[in-house]
Amino acid sequence: MPKAFVLINTEIGAEEEVLKQIRNLEEVKEAYMVYGIYDLFVEVEAEDLEKLKDIISSKIRRLAKVKSTITMIVVSSTSSPI
């Protein structure tokens, strides 16, 4: 099952609002508000790579008050070696 981590910048003061919206997405497995360059750190899973890309581009990036995202698609993990 494809997985990605998405780093999100929101409008100033909108971190909690965007976090609540993101946590309501079925494909989001974990979501955190963080300090640093990014405001939110989100783990997303989908049935296939096309659905993963659609979730990120259509559901996350288009949320009001999301300014920018960086997506890292997982290619290997300790639980699923290449």
Report pLDDT digits (tens) over 16-64: 999 999 999 999 999 999 999 999 999 999 999 999 999 999 999 999 9
pLDDT-based confidence at 77, cuts 50/70/90? confident
Q: For residue 1, which of 57, 32, 44, 54 has the smallest C-alpha distance?
A: 44
Distance CA 79, CA 1 (A): 12
Domain annotation covers residue 82:
no
In a domain? residue 11: yes
Instruction: Give the pLDDT of residue 82.
Output: 52
User: What is the total count of domains within the chain?
Assistant: 1
80 in a structural domain: no
Q: What is the CATH number of the domain that holds 16?
A: 3.30.70.920
Is 14 inside any structural domain?
yes
Structural domain boundaries enclosing 69: 3-73
- In-domain check, residue 49: yes
Res. 78 pLDDT band, cuts 50 70 90? confident
